[in-house]
Structure 1
Amino acid sequence: MNPSEDPNDRLVDSLLRESVRGGADTSLLESIAAKLDAAPMPVRSSRPSLLPWLVAAACLTILGVTWALWHRDGARGGKSSPHPVVESGAPAPTATPGGGSQSPKTRPPSAASRDATEVLPVPVPVPSGDVAVTRTPEPAEDEPQMNPSGGGSQTLRDFAERRLVMAGEGMRVRGLSFPADPTLTEVFVYDLEAPEETPPTRIDVSTHLGGAGQFLSLKGDRVVLSDLGEQPLSQGDTHVFGSLKIAREATDGIFMLLPGSGKAGDPARRAMFLDMSPKVVPPGSVLVMNLSPWEVRLQLEGDLHRLKPGEQEVIKGVPLGPNGLTSVNGFRQKGAEMQRIFAAAWPAHGAFRSIQIFYDNPQSQMTEVRGFRDRIPQVDALGGGERKEENADALDGLAYVRDESTMWYVQFGLESSGKWAPRFVGLTPDKKTKLQNRVSAVEMLKPGDTFFKEGVFEGRFKFVGFEDREIRSERTGLTQSIKFALYEELKPNKKGMRYESQAGLPDAELEAKAYYDRTAVLKFGEQEVRVEEYTKFRLPGNASKMEHFLKKVTPQRVTIETMGAEGKVITRVIQKGTP
């Protein structure tokens, strides 16, 4: 620390050095005393008033500075240590001109360095955010300030970090332990492309989402995670969770900490990075992850989503039923059997989004689903919206007028010796005409057969087979075995989707279990166009001939995908009645 020209500032600088070195700067005190007194005289003067006052002021200042530094570190949750932890045989700290000490420069562990035999001393962690923000004395940086975006209060550091996120120079990150591990409260992130002296960034780890998170700025796109940020990391250290690749354009992310394999010598945990940027997981969407060893399926109303082990999918535009809720069913494929593992009703996501994780619970030995609800972060600290997607204006002026949907359900009908004779019921979009069809008892279907042979929905489905499930009645609380028939879609735009028919389903519950063939009526300029769900279309009169894909239709909104100039899929959600 360089002494300033002002005597009072020089006194503070001197006292800070004195607290580090343990010795008084007599020459500086003499100089200050000379300027404070009317006439020059030595510090050890016989005047009775000067020395006691200087000593008292020095003591009070040292106590005040020490208390302030201790209080600030404690409030930030830092775990500072007076010296970095260095393994035996590693270089010792070296003296610096300021009177303190400096740790030897080291590189954070990488995939290559973990295979070496040397022990890497890890620098003492600095509170998060200091990786990208220059450390200067800012005693008021944590005082609440007015939030320009109207979202309550924020700190000066929060404001600066949000501006960096908006400018694409960093991201908001959070830590999530799954399954919940309350003993894991922090993790340290090493930027493998940062300068050698750069300390790791400490990230808080929680068992739920909703925290503000920390700011992370990276030089490269690969990081290493560890939960021992203050201790040396060596070859085969089980507290190093491996290397992760981070999307450079990410603005919001989650480091998910999962249990390790449990094998000797393997890391205690493994880590995943989830890109939660609003462009990737927008408001109202669901990120579905399959961490189980089985193929799973998530059914939202009539939409079926399949995920193999290790796969994940972002579902945009979650469909809603007539009651404003989403009927949800989850299944797992175990051998030749498809088992339903949960059923629920979701409220509309609105501005929220969620993460749904299929996993095998080691305690119950069952495949379960765990959900996390999350709100989109406010990226623009000045209150502006997110930057517009490239080529997102291709659909400007397109309005969603209404949906014209045929509601239908294949009733269970008859079953005998593995064969099936179902019945079909439906309702046209105008709700005035009932649709019916059936398979006769003398022509019962065997697995692999196509139905119906003629009439409504001719050649539409393929019979797959039966399965029995244990279903608990919400009304009586009793559990009973119920048979389900499974059948597959053959219509080109929906081919491969699977449906089910429940034996003994009361007529009063048919509408809640019904499926839909949805068609959206869109308006572009003065022209209306009808587009069926899961089909490609072009806007009338558009000279560009750009193709769009109608991914989702609900009574409230449509979800449309367009291929951008760089090969990226651009998604637009259009609410009913608004372009």
Structure 2
Amino acid sequence: MRSLLFVFFALSVCAQAAREVRLRLLAFDNMTIPADCFAFDPAAPPGAAGTPAPIKGYLNHEVVKVTVTTGDLTFSKSADVANLNKPEFQLGKVKLPNTGSRFMLIFLPNGDQGFRVMPLDDSVREFPLGAYRFVSLSRLPVKVTLEDKAYEFKPGQSSLVENPPVQANNHSAMYAYSFVDGKWARIGAGLWPAQGKKRSVQIFWDNPSSKNTELRGFRDISPPGPGDEIAPDQS
């Protein structure tokens, strides 16, 4: 019986073990970036101040290091924990996956409710160098073609595209589509440069103003390398 209780205690301790994570916070809309943002772990000791966590309109090498216990994070305009539950200071909440040490957090406008925070695994294992990460927030099926290769995505789907075809000039002809009224309707086109060792996040979304599906991209000019990972198994 005593050994059984010890096992339960050990499992409980392991489940609540704190871990350090590295975050990059990205605003989906540059017009809604708050001047200040602080990250709080709700399970932190009482009175613990928030960690400065600036939300940016681009991706670069800078990360925010935060210690989490359960994976829950709350974001506030104030570093004072006393303001954490005040609506006028609240920015959003996120539940990080139970494993992993690097995450990209995309802050999506959520009307008058601050932001909806979408976590993406930022490790090079789950998001390899040179890859595209496509996320569909559209209510409709969407598709992108790179040269002669088509990639279709269902609503809510998040998928990698690796080693896309390129022309001799190291560019890919891109066409984006949304499935409207039973047929594919083109919503965008362009000439995308080869990724090289860089990465790109591409998000399909439904514009609330125009009611049309659009594609918005963010080029990751300084992605992490295997040597930048906290734990070897994250590379």
Same fold (TM over 0.5): yes
| Alignment CA distance shift 1:389-1:169 (3 Å) | closer
SS for the counterpart of 2:232 is coil
Corresponding position of 2:101: 251
Corresponding position of 2:128: 282
Corresponding position of 1:447: none
SS for the counterpart of 1:204 is coil
Q: Distance in 2 between matches of 1:211 and 1:323?
A: 28
Corresponding position of 1:108: none
Task: Give 1 or 2 for the bigger CA radius of gyration.
Answer: 1
> What whole-Å deviation, never above 9, does each CA across 1:137-174 have from its counterpart, x for those lacking one?
xxxxxxxxxxxxxxxxxxxxxxxxxxxxxxx9523212
Shift in Å, 1:339: 0.5
SS for the counterpart of 2:163 is coil
Superposed, 1:135-154 pairs within 5 Å as none
Pair 1:232 & 2:83 matched: yes
Letter in 2 for 1:335: D
> What whole-Å deviation, never above 9, does each CA across 1:52-89 have from its counterpart, x for those lacking one?
xxxxxxxxxxxxxxxxxxxxxxxxxxxxxxxxxxxxxx
Superposed, 1:466-481 pairs within 5 Å as none
Q: Distance in 2 between matches of 1:376 and 1:258?
A: 21
Letter in 2 for 1:303: K
Pair 1:176 & 2:43 matched: no
Shift in Å, 1:365: 4.3
Corresponding position of 1:293: 139
Q: Distance in 1 between matches of 2:89 and 2:183?
A: 39
Higher percent of residues as strand: 2
SS for the counterpart of 1:278 is coil
Unaligned runs of 5+ in 1: 1-167, 391-579
Of 196, 213, 232, which aligns to 1:387? 232
Identity among equivalent positions (%) equals 27
> What whole-Å deviation, never above 9, does each CA across 1:444-484 have from its counterpart, x for those lacking one?
xxxxxxxxxxxxxxxxxxxxxxxxxxxxxxxxxxxxxxxxx
Shift in Å, 1:255: 2.0
Superposed, 1:358-397 pairs within 5 Å as 358-374=204-220, 375-378=222-225, 380=227, 387=232
Q: Distance in 1 between matches of 2:73 and 2:233?
A: 29
- Contact map agreement 1:297 1:305 (CA 8 A) in 2: yes
Shift in Å, 1:221: 1.6
Shift in Å, 1:228: 3.5
- Contact map agreement 1:301 1:319 (CA 8 A) in 2: yes
- Contact map agreement 1:330 1:343 (CA 8 A) in 2: yes
Q: Which moved more, 1:339-348 or 1:312-321?
A: 312-321
Letter in 2 for 1:344: G
Corresponding pairs, count: 215
Letter in 1 for 2:83: P
Of 261, 268, 281, which aligns to 2:114? 268
Pair 1:329 & 2:179 matched: no
Q: Distance in 2 between matches of 1:280 and 1:370?
A: 21
Corresponding position of 2:162: 316
Corresponding position of 2:45: 195
Q: Distance in 2 between matches of 1:313 and 1:227?
A: 32
Unaligned runs of 5+ in 2: 1-17
Q: Distance in 2 between matches of 1:269 and 1:359?
A: 15
| Alignment CA distance shift 1:327-1:189 (3 Å) | same
Shift in Å, 1:288: 0.7
